[in-house]
Chain A
């Protein structure tokens, strides 16, 4: 008989729907084919001119209707597309989800082109006064909506019939995982039978790229874009900015079973720990990341021998990959030599606010399909990082449990433990 309660007596949380969009394409099928073929979605930037820029490549999503309509519009469409796929797969009515919504999305500011349009609409000096004067006479809410952090979730809640006040959150690069965690917690508290967790990021604007460049965070391997993201390689030189989205329909196993839904996997544990060391660097001893991994294992009721595969944060920055290796070696000790670990970011780049959700989606598919996507561009291993990174070519494997890591800029670390089957 299926157990509906976990080792701590809480409702077991199943996944009954998955949706995903990345630079590799729309939907699970296209993404999975590309991902397991070791295909990269990284390409030269065409959305805006790259004059003066040190980094001229990205994993932007250029094939949606909103791709050139600004970060807010694209983030909404990414979220809606992924959520639509997930809700449909779960077999629920597309406009009557009936549970809360948790959205991880970037803090999008007023688009530069809107700012310019406001400026051109008046005469007054200084410019900041002029923008305000023109703004209050606008006859449209479009610009206003794009400047309100709650707007995207509000529209999504309307579109899918989510209940209550939708939560929009940011824990930097851990946001997508945090959205899932919030959904899991709501179900565990029995506040909801199901929850819609979405991570979406369509904010690869020129300014975003420049800001990350100024922090020396981005790869400048512009010449061969598909080779630029090279996690765990000796010559890794930064992450590749990217866009994408994923949505999970989370549901109590009891509810999923009762309505005969297909269970695609189980979210077994979540763990988090904040870093207090520095705004962009992690604590040298890796203790926050270590604590986050351990918290996730404990929450899942698993020991260090309980993980079959690790979906790495693996950003391809010199710092992250070194620290991730240190943290995992510390937690898993000698087990680490037999745990395969790969980075989806080698192919899709770093999708920032969406990364944790996208990588959770791919982790679930890894277990279901019995195929581990590779870490591509692993041509020049870093000898200081001794890991089985599933180099360059996918691997067939029976994977029953996955740990997915998300380590955020600003010190927010979140780890998820997922399982193929209920206990």
Chain B
């Protein structure tokens, strides 16, 4: 134990399963919970949709809500949940000195405008001029801001007054890994005392599916759990809308203000295995070594996406460690892209704090009755980058 241990004191979660830590713990710790799926709206793709959300619970001003599209609203909302959970929301002094790292993709483009441009292109051979005509007359200025990656953090500053510092990392799952790794490193080194870190993903937009499907990564046909998609039609990923934010603090900072601690965030490891050279399995093993996942009998909250190659590599590594019981939460939430690693760490913290494991999320996952002193969280990117962390009991 050290004053500069990184502890988790706030968790904000939203997924198709609901919102908040209690709703997620309830559903995920109950055996046989079924996923919430929408197989119609984006057929042939299945997605896990957002639950109904009353945005005004975390974003009081209608004017602020109007300045955002769903992705930024979602992230700002989840960040608010985390701040409230940590007892920091509306605490002006703590928010003004709080550092923030957001893992962000992009926001939603205007589908109507884009489709209109494409439709008009059939009658024109001067596409670039057409583009100018349409974009200058049809784009809404606010929508541009709603698309900007760094404006999720910008909106969190505006709505929740988190202004110590604001950084946005981009780049799919790796952004979430780096965000947590950097935040933890800053606290451990004394560069920061309390941080807000996390991300959100809103998959219910054709461009968000396109981001996967340009490489054929999406699962098609009948829905299956994460580990059972090998060989099925499509690329294996079923995406979901949701987000996860964590409040990380130095132990000293949290204890001084008497804040409940969920868990300690132990070592965080990140990597960039050269997958073209078949180095992913070795890379995953290296991550496990780095976070010192040596305890015998370990629960692993896996961020496996279902993407065939990456998920097969992760499965092989975890299967080889016969004492590890993996829980691929995307079976129940869908793949949350930038939010995937923060979500994995959050679920690990909930298990540690509740001193109870999750039941298998699908038939192929084995039972677990070992110690919950430490829980492993992994996220192996569907295309590149990977990370892991060990989350341990607070005391």
Contacts and interface: CB of A to CB of B under 8 A. Distances in A.
B129 interface: yes
Interface in B120-163: 121, 126-129, 131-133, 135-136, 139-141, 144-145, 147-151, 153-155, 157-158, 161-163
Contacts of A144: 214-215, 383
Contacts of B165: 272-274
B227 interface: no
Nearest to A146: B214
Interface residues of A, number: 75
B100 A168 contact: no
Contacts of A116: 118, 121, 127
Contacts of A182: 167, 182
B133 A149 contact: no
A164 to B, nearest CB: 6
Contacts of B45: 132
Contacts of B149: 107, 149, 170
Contacts of B154: 274, 279, 410-412
B128 A49 contact: yes
A185 B186 contact: yes
B210 interface: yes
A245 to B, nearest CB: 17
A157 B385 CA distance: 12
Contact of A149 (B129, B147, B170, B387): B170
B133 A412 contact: no
A109 B106 contact: yes
Contacts, number: 231
Given A150-B385, A206-B131, A411 B166 contact: yes
A149 B158 contact: no
Contacts of A157: 272
Interface stretch (A75-83, A123-131, A376-384): A123-131
Contacts of B114: 115, 127-128
A50 B207 CA distance: 27
B216 A136 contact: yes
Interface in A114-166: 115-116, 119-120, 126-129, 131-132, 135-138, 141, 143-144, 147-150, 153-154, 157-158, 164-166
B109 A109 contact: yes
Nearest to B214: A144
Contacts of B106: 107, 109, 149
A148 B181 CA distance: 21
Interface string A244-279: 000000000000000000000000000011111111
Interface in A159-215: 164-172, 175, 178, 182, 185, 188-189, 191, 206-207, 210-211, 213-215
A189 B172 contact: no
Nearest to A47: B128
A288 B111 CA distance: 36
A52 interface: yes
B267 to A, nearest CB: 13
A210 B145 contact: no
Contact of A127 (B119, B140, B189): B119
Contacts of B211: 147-148
Given A52-B136, A149-B171, A214 B144 contact: yes
Contacts of B272: 154, 157, 164-166
A49 B129 contact: yes
A280 interface: yes
B158 A276 contact: yes
B206 interface: yes
Contacts of B86: none
B168 A147 contact: no
A76 B352 CA distance: 43
Contacts of B186: 185
Contacts of B148: 107, 172, 409-410
B270 interface: yes
A110 interface: yes
A374 to B, nearest CB: 31
Contacts of B209: 132
B384 A141 contact: no
B132 A211 contact: no
A48 B131 CA distance: 10
Contacts of A132: 45, 206, 209-210, 213
Contacts of B105: 149
A412 B140 CA distance: 23
Given A127-B115, A150-B385, A168-B175, A279 B100 contact: no
Given A131-B206, A157-B272, A165-B385, A170 B162 contact: no
Contact of A51 (B129, B150, B385): B129
Contact of A275 (B147, B163, B171): B163
Interface string B91-118: 0000000001000111001010011001
Residue among B100, B115, B135, B214 with the highest chain A CB neighbour number at 10 A: B214
The 4 tightest CB contacts between A and B, nearest first, are A150-B171, A410-B154, A128-B206, A144-B214
13 contacts: A109-B207, A115-B114, A119-B121, A120-B121, A136-B213, A154-B384, A168-B170, A170-B168, A170-B170, A171-B168, A211-B141, A410-B145, A411-B166
Given A170-B170, A210-B139, A279-B151, 9 more contacts: A107-B147, A107-B150, A109-B147, A141-B214, A154-B385, A182-B182, A206-B135, A274-B166, A288-B163
